Structure 1
């Protein structure tokens, strides 16, 4: 990692493992030589822990299909508004992640279906990924309806 940080075209690291002790050691060793980003699936769930290490930026797949909710979460994170983060996690992120975790590959599949449900279709997933079952599509629709994400298109 130290050698990578010396390369002029390497400016950051997107972490998708979430190994906090390792990240802490890397940040301590590198200081501000690299920008670190939380790249965990549905990064909002791990964002408070990453923020504790000084890593506030993250890649939000949810922003693609529920941008207002994702922006509200990010503002709450930056303002250390624990109550708002907890509310959003309970109303949207936890149920979304529980649904995502039912089937391998749903990290991408549910994102595509979510985009379709909010009027921004991007096409089906490619094999080996599978399209969500109808019951899972219905569950996602309920989750999106609960946070008002479908009202603009229905």
Structure 2
């Protein structure tokens, strides 16, 4: 197998890893949109074991955690090793108007999808205009005037 080796790119990658002061969790890229009566969050988590994904809600704070463990293979000589392991974290303030009890999640093809339904109280609705019951009774019982 032929592989193009760029020493400057490799040096930049190694320096980036060594000089990275951020030793904490990595941020996961995500998309968030509203589709009708629910919000959909799609987060890229390639190579994550779905069993390591932890999603919880505390008040109005949604927290997503995941772990990617680096693959260790004994007795091999690495040619390139750019996929680092570590933990991923994303927190979102849900605000008011979502149904926290009905949040659901799925993981497929390296993408975590979280569906956050809008609560019934926050959904738009029509308000029926009612007429006064007294005016309806008067109209129903009105007698023609005698002359």
Q: Same fold (TM over 0.5)?
A: no
> Would you tell me which structure has more strand in proportion to its own residues?
2
> Would you tell me which structure has more helix in proportion to its own residues?
1
Normalised to the residue count of structure 2, the TM-score between the two structures is: 0.21
Which of structures 1 and 2 has the larger relative contact order (alpha carbons within 8 angstroms, sep 6+)?
Answer: 2
Normalised to the residue count of structure 1, the TM-score between the two structures is: 0.21
The structure number with the bigger radius of gyration is 2
